[in-house]
Chains A and B, each alone.
Chain A
Amino acid sequence: MTNNLMYFAILLPAVISLLAFATRKMGKVCAATALLGAVVNLVVAIKLFGQTAAVHVPWTSWGLDFTLRLYSFSGFIVLAAAGFALAITLYSLPFMAKREHSGLFYFQLLLSVAFANGAALADNLILLLFFWEGLLITLYGLIAIGRPGAWKSAMKALVLVGVSDVCMMFGIALAGHFAGTMQISKMHLVLTETGPTLAFLFLIIGATAKAGALPFHSWIPDAAEDAPLPFMALMPAAFEKLLGIYFLARITLDMFALTPGSWCSTLLMTLGAITILVAVMMALIQKDYKRLLAYHAISQVGYMILGIGTAVPAGIVGGLFHMINHALYKSGLFLSGGSVERQTGTTDLSKLGGLARQMPITFFCFFVTACSISGVPPFNGFISKELIYDGALERGGIFYAAALLGSFLTAASFLKLGHSAYFGKVSEANKNVKEAPWAMLVPMLTIAGFCILFGVYNQLPLHKLIQPVLGEHRLEGHDYAGWHFNIMLVVGTLVVLALALLNHFIGVKRSGSGIGAADHIHYAPGLHQAYDAAEKGWFDPYELGLTLARGVGRVTWGVDRFINWVSDGLAVGVTAMFSYLVRSFHTGSLPIYLWWAIAGVALVIILLVKVN
């Protein structure tokens, strides 16, 4: 029965997505089909949760078997994905109602759910890769159906994620080669040899890039502006974090035994720290609601990678807990942005203001989720960040410092966002703005509720979801649930939050408005130039790649033209010249021809005499 349910988890959303595709022109029917699909999927996910099962169907002789594995971790991911899928489908009902391509949106949403379930349940690396790449297709498709011209962002996402996936494909091949099997649960590789280490690094690229870490991140802010908003809440905020971090955890926990103090662990932590700081610095100066959130979606991945990279129990638990927390608050934040966009028609912070009074419920949701992301107690983000700090401090003060600085900047940028969007003066255009419809508010409130629940009663997620993933022996007898933290860490966090508040007031005072609260950092000497370069795309791997490709293209074009000139110009010209020369000897005069023949005979005799 459980085995059949695993098939259902993959097949049902796929089949219902086809129904949605068939009814894509019939607005409400299609939306109802999608909602049905999301509900069915959630039911299946709930049934699956907490069980263990495995399906093994031999397929080909070279390692590709149809192998599914249901256990605490995959069940948790499938359940979380199903929850977000339902919340976002519900939210999309009013949001996507009048839009073009809403049918295609639902179709691809459900297809993404099917692929995500497959990727979470797959226990064979090649099978996993199949579902993984399927998500790349819907990623492209969902961005491309956004506003006109969105295909450019879609292409950027496709190329960047595609490149990282190629790296991962290579890593899978290496891992399979060195392990002698493609089955994830049977892989036991060590990081002391060169070959497996190489496999590890390539797999890490694939997993972290999926989660949105540097340097394959730059499509997310662009997609935030171009893609339909529910997509942002679904994919970059929820699905990709869930799957990317899930796979990262399986790499570091199951396939390879990552040990604290190994250079691979340090590398992961460094990657995490850099991702936190660079992305949050970019988030700080954004003047668009969605774009600002997008940079945070990148930045927060850094915390998860940092946490898992520590390879100590506290860090791993914190990283995984942060994954689910982030999926919650970042979806919530994007959804609040969607409400604002739907009701006011814009997400440009300079045109917003004072919405707290007009949209109180949306503001409440924003407030909860923003506090979560900033790590304010007692919300869920606070708990997971504390655990990550704990792990980081165990591995080195510098990582802790980086994480703390990240928190400061995160809090600062959300103070700026909240201030400029929800406080201050209401602009003329927004005089008559009303609260969003209930179908949008319900998912937002649900998510906000989970943010509070997971913080206050963190025993629930930690005991039921996170700690079973590590198992008793990895936890080394610790239990991280509850409210017993290192008092120094809590004090540090609170001080940082207070400093962020102080910084905000200084910024507002200096610039005179909420939106300019970060200007004194933006235009600080030294930073100013770096920001300008970043805004121009100098650090964007996609832009750099495009520039390189253009350069290579120009060179090959030149080579092509040259070859063309040689073959069509030079060769033809030289041949024509010789042809003319030969013809000009043929005057038609018989005496001349006779002399040629006689000269030829002379040559014959000379050759006969000379050569031998």
Chain B
Amino acid sequence: MPSLLVILPLLAVLLLNLPLNFLRRLALPAALLLALYQAAFALGVLPACCAGCPTQERWFLNALDPLTSVLLLAIAIVAFVSVFVLRATAGEERREFNMLNLVFLAVAGMNGLVLVRDLFSLYVFLELASIASFILIAAHREMGGLEGAFKYLVMSALATMMMLASIALLLALSGSTSFGAVAEALQAHARHGYVLTALGLFLGGLLIKSGVMPFHGWLPDAYSAAPAAVSTLLAGIVTKVTGVYALIRLVLDVFGFTPATQQLLLIFGAISVVAGALAALGQSDMKRMLAYSSISQVGYILLGLATGTGLGIAAAVFHLFNHAIFKTLLFVNAAAVEKQTGTRDMNQLGGLAQKMPITGVTSLLAMFSTAGVPPLAGFWSKLLIIAALWLSGFHGYALLGIGASLLTLAYFLSLQRRVFFGLVRAGCENVREAGWALTLPSLLLAAILVGVGLALPWLIGTFLLPVKGF
């Protein structure tokens, strides 16, 4: 029963915080178990969903379809990995416990978000996940983390405000907040200025949450200043669910594809793809470069979505999943490098591939996947996005996508060269591979990247193309 995926994390937070000391030690295994359960559940329902099972709506947290199942799987994988990173980097036990509680809340929020089909419920779960994230970013109580959390908070407040206002307007229009009712009302009054304002406010809020340029002001600071485990969770899944997934879901189910929505998705997607990559190119902080890279990759997802075709949407969702995997992997590796060397400044690193072979190789794989080198997973999703753009007649945007993947390769090569390749830099001679808590997740994620890439011919028919069918 999918509702359990929301109820269990909340229940876990309640139970673990009973005043019994031994319960604290159960928090970590509980989190891992929950993540495994969720992954198993998602994998279990995914084939049935893709085969076209009717959506069950007996209860409000029960809506399953291929898109939701894929997101549930991604959430489970990233949460699982983040718990490992948390274990490796949190430091004191009390802080680890507190952060784990927040991770439970964030996961509950995200799970709820992907399972609901109602605007206001969506808003509630979105806030749950966001608020947990604000606190997580600042969990180490350092200046950078506080600043990042504050920026995220303020920008999110703006987004919240706009989304709430929009929900109010739409409620007044349709008398309900369920997707179906709102979609009907929107169709009935498509060109009404009132409707367009509501639409614009909601889309603006979602774009802020997704970190699309130029709504991205909070993102580089939040990603790079957050503690390692938090940036893994945040970059890997939180912004993807609260922003990108919500955008996809609402455009598909509620707002519908109009030339206007297509146009604005294309424009903001293109800006993000190019400007994000350009900004990444000049960074010297490893995590900040990854943050700008995220902006650029989200741009690709928007471009795929903008086509409005089955292929484009499937490719966008595929890229969303792939991005969750490889960006998480890169942040895990960034965490390993920071933990072992004490710095994220790429100018002070060098030749780490010799000292940290697992980290070096897996990050090379992730980077190739991001840049779209065959046969890794990222290549296929990017190829499908570009193919979908071309087939839909957006030739200029397709070429832009190809050109920007060169930029992607450029900044990742620069990262790889400065951190992992070449001679071991003075001061890095005694660096050793990070412990299993970091290398194990890296290997797991790298295996998924390669496996998904190699299994694509099977995946494309079984899972990928049915995504359009909801």
Chain A interfacial positions (CB closer than 8 Å to B): 575-576, 578-583, 586, 588, 590, 592-594, 596-601, 603-605, 607-612
Q: Show 25 residue pairs from A and B whose CB-CB distance is below 8 angstroms, ordered by the A residue.
A: A575-B410, A579-B279, A582-B275, A582-B282, A583-B282, A586-B279, A590-B155, A590-B217, A593-B216, A594-B154, A594-B158, A594-B217, A596-B214, A597-B158, A597-B204, A598-B158, A600-B214, A601-B200, A601-B207, A605-B196, A608-B196, A608-B203, A608-B261, A608-B264, A612-B260
Which residues on the B side are within 8 Å of A580 (C-beta)?
282
> Least Cβ distance of B356 to chain A in Å?
28
- Which residues of B from 263 to 318 have beta carbons under 8 Å from A? 263-264, 267-268, 275, 278-279, 281-283
Chain B contacts for A594, CB-based, 8 A: 154-155, 158, 217
When the two chains form the complex, which single residue of B154, B214, B221 contacts A588, counting CB atoms closer than 8 Å?
B221
Tell whether B347 is near chain A: CB-to-CB under 8 Å: no
C-alpha spacing A579/B259, complex, angstroms: 31
With A579-B281, A599-B214 given, name 19 new contacts (CB 8 A). A576-B281, A582-B278, A582-B282, A590-B150, A593-B155, A593-B216, A593-B217, A593-B218, A594-B154, A594-B158, A596-B217, A597-B217, A603-B267, A604-B203, A604-B204, A605-B197, A605-B200, A607-B260, A612-B258
Interface of A is mostly: helix
Query: How far is B208's CA from A419's CA once the two chains are assembled, in angstroms?
Result: 103
Which residues on the A side are within 8 Å of B261 (C-beta)? 608
Nearest B residue to A593 via CB reads B217
Given contacts A600-B214, A607-B264, contact A582 B410 (CB under 8 A): no
How far apart are B307's CB and chain A's nearest CB, in angstroms? 16
**Residues of chain B within 8 A of A603, CB atoms compared:** 264, 267
Chain A residues with CB under 8 Å of B350's CB are none
Contacts of A576 in B (CB 8 A): 281-282
Scan residues 202-220 of chain B and give those whose CB is less than 8 A from a CB of chain A: 203-204, 207-208, 214-218, 220
Q: In the docked arrangement, what's the CA distance between A596 and B215, Å?
A: 6
Interface size counted on chain B using CB atoms at 8 A: 40
Q: Which residues of chain B have C-beta atoms less than 8 A from A582's C-beta?
A: 275, 278-279, 282
Distance between Cα atoms of A575 and B414 in the complex (Å): 14
List the A residue with the shortest CB-CB distance to B205.
A601
Total number of residue pairs linking A and B with CB closer than 8 Å: 95
Q: Which of A598, A605, A607 has the most CB of B within 10 A?
A: A607
Cβ contact within 8 Å between A612 and B191 = yes
Docked pose: A601 CA to B221 CA in angstroms: 21
B201 touches A (CB below 8 Å): yes
The list of the 9 closest CB pairs from A to B, nearest first, reads A593-B217, A601-B204, A605-B200, A611-B260, A596-B214, A579-B281, A579-B282, A579-B278, A607-B264
CB distance from A581 to the nearest CB of B (A): 8
Cβ of B193 under 8 Å from chain A: yes
Q: Which residues of B contact A598 (CB under 8 A)?
A: 158
B140 interface contact, C-beta 8 A: no
B407 touches A575 (CB 8 A): yes
B73 in contact (CB, < 8 A): no
CA distance A89 to B259 in the complex (A): 90
Residue ID in chain A nearest B157 by CB atoms:
A594
Bound form: Cα–Cα A583–B278 in Å: 8
Checking A578, A586, A608 against B199 with a beta-carbon cut-off of 8 angstroms, the contacting residue is A608
Is B162's CB within 8 Å of the partner chain A?
Answer: yes
Contacts of B158 in A (CB 8 A): 594, 597-598
Look across to chain A and name the residue whose beta carbon is closest to the beta carbon of B207: A600
Contact bitstring B67-104, A, C-beta under 8 A = 1, else 0: 00000000000000000000000000000000000000
- Alpha-carbon gap, A600 to B159, bound state (A): 12
- Among the listed A581, A600, A611, A612, which residue makes an inter-chain contact with B204, where contact means beta carbons less than 8 Å apart? A600
A590-B279 contact given A596-B215, A608-B199, CB 8 Å threshold: no
Nearest A residue to B267 via CB reads: A607
Chain B's closest residue to A592 (CB) is B217
User: Does B151 have its Cβ within 8 Å of any Cβ on chain A?
Assistant: yes
CB proximity of A504 to chain B, nearest CB, Å: 77
Give the complex CA separation of A603 and B264 in angstroms. 9
Report the nearest A residue to B282, measured CB to CB.
Answer: A579
Question: A586–B204 contact, CB under 8 A?
Answer: no
- Is B214 a contact partner of A601 (Cβ separation < 8 A)? no
Q: 8 Å CB contacts to A: which residues of B169-197?
A: 191, 193, 196-197
Query: For B204, what are the chain A residues with a Cβ–Cβ distance below 8 Å?
Result: 597, 600-601, 604-605
Q: How far is the CA of A576 from the CA of B150 in the complex (A)?
A: 31
CB closest residue in chain A, given B268: A600
Chain B residue with minimal CB distance to A609?
B196
In the complex, which residues of chain B have a beta carbon less than 8 angstroms from the beta carbon of A601? 162, 200-201, 204, 207, 215
Bound state CA distance, A588 and B162, in angstroms?
23
Shortest CB distance A120–B (Å): 55
A329 to chain B, nearest CB (A): 69
Q: How many angstroms between the C-alpha atoms of A578 and B221 in the bound complex?
A: 21
Given contacts A590-B154, A593-B155, A597-B214, contact A611 B197 (CB under 8 A): no
Most buried by B among A583, A608, A611: A608
CB pair B220 A575 closer than 8 Å: no
With a cutoff of 8 Å between Cβ atoms, the chain A residues found around residue B221 in the complex are 588
CA distance A590 to B218 in the complex (A): 8
- Shortest beta-carbon distance from A591 to chain B in Å: 9
Chain B residue nearest to A581 (CB atoms) is B278
Cα–Cα, bound, A235→B23 (Å): 98
Minimum Cβ distance to chain B for residue A489 (Å): 79
Do A597 and B215 touch across chains, with their CB atoms under 8 A apart? yes
CA distance A580 to B278 in the complex (A): 8
Chain B residues near A605: list those with CB within 8 A.
Answer: 196-197, 200-201, 204
C-alpha spacing A576/B263, complex, angstroms: 29
Give Cα A590–Cα B152 distance, bound, in whole angstroms: 10
A575 touching B278, Cβ below 8 Å? yes
Hey, which chain A residues are within 8 Å of B263, CB to CB? 607, 611
